[in-house]
Structure formats: structure tokens, C-alpha cells
Structure 1
Amino acid sequence: MGTPPPPPPQSGPGFAGFPQQPQPPAPHGPPGFGPPPGLPSAPGAPTAPAAPNGGRGGGLRRNAVWAFVGAILASAIWTGAVVAVPGIVGGKSAAKSVRGYHAVDRICDAGKLTAFRGKYKMVDNYPLEHAGRSESMDVMRCYALMKRTPGDSETTDYATLDIRAELHKAVDSVPEFAALRHYFEQQKYEITDVPGLGEEAYLAYGDEPTSADKTFHDINHYLQVRDGAMTYSLYWTDNYQVGKNHMLDRETVRKAMLDDTRDMLKAIGGA
């Protein structure tokens, strides 16, 4: 099996305003987001244990690498949205009400992630969580690397979960929210509206090959929610090789995303 290609160069602030996935800190440098030291080819992916009968655990290693790479690739989406829909970062408009939402220091801890924790086990030291507060915007972010060993399989599947909630107190977030949806549409993602979640919400889904032989695929799920001045993004990614990997089915992932999102929005003051 071939090794997946390295992630493309990054530019711009990242997916939906997410900070880009940082490189591993220099020795004695400050901690930050990104998995702990692991595979040489993808810093942060868990080190693969030796496979039975002298194997090298290549399937585990590849899954771990791709889970991390999937999160890195997500950081390019915001840059693409800006290019695809000019003018979304220009101009000013009145901010909407935050409707009782408030910033918490650890959004995933507050929201529990009950649905995803029922399917996956967190890799040690995850999730990573940060919050920032300012007069113009409060930001909460959670990043998780998760692992699952399906049935009696000798291969462990890895997935990433990246969550960000923003309280826009200075500008109207509606144009930006609409532009991001337009970007997903331009990239041929399958868009599904989600009624009863905030003022507007949708799921964007993509399944695309990531290697020359077309057998390796990334699965990308995005949930975007806006409620007044609060915007929320949940990005979940997994990968598979056609005919070989086990993975959660699409409906299971969709339900987990919606259930955990509802819990998180309640935890930060939503109805």
C-alpha cells in the first residue's frame, strides 16, 4: 500500500477562522494544538505498535497519519472560501444578539462528547481545549484525536474531531456563514439542511480519493450552525481503503455530531 501524500502548504487563518494546525513546538517551547510527538511522517499521530508475526503495523500507522492530515487539510477551507467568494471579509455591519450564549474554558468538557466517546476512545492527553475572550469576539475551541478497534480487527482506526464556537460581538456573522456554505457547494460537497438547530444549520459531506490509485479515501463531515451572533463548527474526518478498512457508517456519524452539538450548545447557554 502506498504512503498518502503530504499535506499541501498552508496559508490564511484556517477553516472557518480556525488557527492553522501548528507545527510541533521546538524543545522547551510553549504547548499548543496538535497531537503529541509520534510518527516521523506526520508529527502527532500515535506511534504504531508492532504488528503480529513481525509486521510493522502499517495499517494503523496509515490511519493515524491520515486522521491527522485530514484535520490539517481542513485548515485550507477558510482560505478557499475567501478566494471563492470575494468580499466576505470586507465591510462592517451591526452585530446580532448573543442570545444568552457565553464562553466556557473547556467546551468539550462542558458538552461531554457523550455520543462520540461511546464510539471511540480518546488518545491520551486529548481533547485539547482553549478559549479566548475579547470585546469583539469570544472563541472556544476543542481538538480531539480518537481511536477505535472494530470487532476483532488488528487494525486501529483513527479519527479527528475539531470544534469551534464563536460569539461575534462586533460584526454580523451572517454573510460569512453564507459564504462558507457557498464554498462547500462549489466544492461539490453534499449539503443537507438541519431544521430545529439554531437559526440555520447544515451538514456538508465529502468522500474523496487521496491517492493516485483511488483506493484510499478521506471522509469529511462538517456541521455548521448559526444562532444569532453565535456560530459553531464541528469537523469530523476518517479514512478508509476500499474493501479493507472498517469505519463508522455515515448515519452513525451524523447522529453523533448532532447529539453532541446539541449538548454543547446547551452547555454554553443555548436553548
Structure 2
Amino acid sequence: MPGAPASGGGGGGLRRNAVWAFVGAILASVVWTGTVVVVPGIVGGESSAKSLGGYHAVDRICDAGKLTAFRGKYKMVDNYPLEHAGRSDSMDVMRCYALMKRTPEGSETPEYATLDIRVELHKAVDSVPEFAAVRHYFEQQKYEITDAPGLGEEAYFAYGDEPTSSDKTFHDINYHLQVRDGGMTYSLYWTDNYQTGENHTLDRETVRKAMLDDTRDMLKAIGGP
């Protein structure tokens, strides 16, 4: 993985930390697949697309949105963020994935976290059923769901903290911020990890505020209000 720590004293733990972060981001990418499985019927059929208002696709969404809040707390690992955009008659998609690190106060060991942003501009179908189905997926996975104020027509946080392996002392912390505004759907996934007794992660409110602040900047950068 580009920018991952080299081996050495404590290297195994560092590599595990970075790998967990990467795996967390990959899991975020399959939420849609899981949603289709647990909520059949959201694909297919005919529906009317919602207005996109001023939203438009950009080639590098994280560059456009700056990520000021998260960059103020973490350093971007070399070669990140990775950014992609795809355009078609039915939907434009923008994606940004970043591996970030910070060294907690009193520690010499860097901690790694990942940020994964995906924006879809639905031109051909109604975005509402899909957005509702993703929320239903989080509910079925027993995530803690709370409203996210001041974003789009509807927005919420989904939060989960769960063991990552047979060793129950290792945990993934998963934050999702989901926003829908007309035919635009937005997802910011942030994941961190810790071992019981060695938890140096940022507190929940700090992460939530960074997600909100960077999301507002991101949506404005692609034509939102």
C-alpha cells in the first residue's frame, strides 16, 4: 500500500492498523450491494429523477472541497487522496479515497484512519428509494442512527463500533454521513480502529463536526447551496 509504514520496531502493529483502515474502506464500497440483498425491489422499474439543482460533477472532488477539517487533524499519507469521476447520461459519480495518519499526544506510534467519499448525481431514476434502502441497511446492522442537521433534504449519521476479528480486543469504529438533496446522494465514510486499553482515537463529537464541516464545503464545491 503506498505510504504504509515500513517494518521495524512495532511494524507489525502499524501494518495491521493501516490494513484495517484499508479493509474498512473496502467494506464501505459494498454497502450498496448489501442493501440490494436485504432490500430487494429498489432496482428495476420506472421512476422519475429528482432535480439536480446546481449540482455538477468535478474531476477531483476532494481537491475541490479541500477537506480542511480533517487535514487540520491528520496528515495525508503519500500518494493520497485517490480521486475518480465518471459521467454518463444516467448518472455521474465522483469518488475520493484517502489514507490519513496522526500521532497522538504522548505516543510515538502513528494512528491511521481512512476517509471514503462517494457522490452520485442521479439523472434517470428517483434517488429516494435507494437512499431509504441504505438507511434500512444500517438499521439492520444495528448501527446507531442520528439526524445530521442543515444538510440537503434529508441527512443522517450512522455509527458502529465492533470487534474486527477473533481477538475481541481489536475494534473498528465506523462513521457514515449520508445526505440526499434532490437527485444528489452523498456518502462520507470515516473509519478508525483501536485496541482495548490503547484507545487514542478522536472523540465522537470531534469526528462528527469534522464530517459536517468538510461535507458542507464539499457540497458547495459541486454546486450545492
TM over 0.5, shorter chain: yes
For each residue in 1:84-130, what CA deviation from the matched residue of structure 2 results, as whole angstroms up to 9, or x when unmatched?
Answer: 11101121201011011111111100100000000100000110111
1:89 aligns to 2:14 (yes or no): no
Q: Distance in 2 between matches of 1:180 and 1:90?
A: 16
Relative to total residues, which structure has the larger strand share, 1 or 2? 2
**Structure 1 residue ranges (4+ consecutive) displaced by more than 3 angstroms after TM superposition:** none
Q: Cα offset for 1:195?
A: 2.6
Which of 3, 11, 19 aligns to 1:65? It is: 19
For each residue in 1:17-49, what CA deviation from the matched residue of structure 2 results, as whole angstroms up to 9, or x when unmatched?
Answer: xxxxxxxxxxxxxxxxxx43xxxxxxxx70335
Which of 240, 259, 264 aligns to 2:194? It is: 240
Listed as ranges, the matches of 1:89-238 within 5 Å are 89-238=43-192
SS at match of 1:138: strand
Q: What TM-score, normalized to structure 2?
A: 0.96
Q: Cα offset for 1:72?
A: 1.6
Which of 34, 46, 54 aligns to 1:80? It is: 34
For each residue in 1:219-270, what CA deviation from the matched residue of structure 2 results, as whole angstroms up to 9, or x when unmatched?
Answer: 0000000000111000000100010131111111110000000000000001
Contact 1:215 1:242 in 2 (8 A): yes
Aligned partner letter, 2:32: W
Aligned to 2:8: 50
Q: Distance in 1 between matches of 2:150 and 2:29?
A: 28
Which of 203, 213, 220 aligns to 1:266? It is: 220
Contact 1:105 1:131 in 2 (8 A): yes
Q: Cα offset for 1:183?
A: 0.7
Change (3 A) 1:145 1:265: same
Contact 2:5 2:11 in 1 (8 A): no
For each residue in 1:27-75, what CA deviation from the matched residue of structure 2 results, as whole angstroms up to 9, or x when unmatched?
Answer: xxxxxxxx43xxxxxxxx7033522xxxx42321221111111112223
Aligned to 1:257: 211
Q: How many pairs were matched up?
A: 225
Q: Structure 2: which 5+ runs fail to align?
A: none
Aligned partner letter, 2:68: T
Q: Distance in 1 between matches of 2:133 and 2:18?
A: 32
Which moved further from structure 2: 108-117 or 134-143?
Answer: 134-143
Contact 1:67 1:158 in 2 (8 A): yes
Aligned to 1:10: none
Contact 1:207 1:219 in 2 (8 A): yes
SS at match of 2:197: coil
Q: What TM-score, normalized to structure 1?
A: 0.80
Q: Distance in 2 between matches of 1:79 and 1:141?
A: 17
Q: Distance in 1 between matches of 2:86 and 2:143?
A: 31
Q: Distance in 2 between matches of 1:59 and 1:246?
A: 14
Q: Structure 1: which 5+ runs fail to align?
A: 1-34, 37-44
Which structure has more relative contact order (CA 8 Å, sep 6+)? It is 2
Q: Distance in 1 between matches of 2:131 and 2:85?
A: 21
Aligned to 1:4: none
SS at match of 2:8: coil
